[in-house]
Amino acid sequence: MIDLTVFVVLVVLGYVAGSLFEKRHFRSLEKREAAQLSQPIVTLEDVSYPEDQIESARLVSGSAVISVDYFKRLLASLRNIFGGKVKSYESLLDRARREALLRMKESAPDAMAIVNVRIETASIGRRANKKGVGCVEAMAYGTALTFRK
């Protein structure tokens, strides 16, 4: 009985707090993305800028570790029985990647462009007795170019 109560409390807490945090995070992501829109990021290696105008090039990176809430983990494990699209993990990875990209951009406010951007995802903190995603880390890195004025 106590076990069941704890379980229900965890699910409800996960659902309420989790969706609140997620909504807040998406709002902040949208706001910050709009503010950073003028700084282009590309996955190309060469953007054919005239070389004599480029002042410096340096490596920049940004990362974020995001965890999924209890309720969504439950949904995903149910999904594992029937198969199909796991929406709760889609939003998790979306959040992690966008946050990592934004942090990378924010770490180079003077850059005119960030080229050769790569995104890497790693699942960390997985426990041996529980399978599934504990939390994911997304990391974005690229070369920030600054131009001569």
Say if residues 41 and 117 touch (Cβ distance below 8 Å): yes
Type of residue at 132: G
35 or 57: CB nearest other proteins: 57
Cα(107)–Cα(51) distance, rounded to whole angstroms? Answer: 23
26 or 83: CB nearest other proteins: 26
By three-state DSSP, how is residue 10 classified?
A: helix
By three-state DSSP, how is residue 11 classified?
A: helix
36 or 116: CB nearest other proteins: 116
Contact pick of 8, 35, 42, 57 for other proteins (by CB under 8 A): 57
- Establish if 143 lies at the interface with other proteins (CB under 8 A): yes
Q: How far is the CB of 124 from other proteins (least distance, A)?
A: 5
Q: How far is the CB of 84 from other proteins (least distance, A)?
A: 21
Tally DSSP H helices, then E strands, for the chain.
3, 3
Cα(131)–Cα(25) distance, rounded to whole angstroms? Answer: 26
Contact pick of 25, 76, 86, 106 for other proteins (by CB under 8 A): 25
- Establish if 141 lies at the interface with other proteins (CB under 8 A): yes
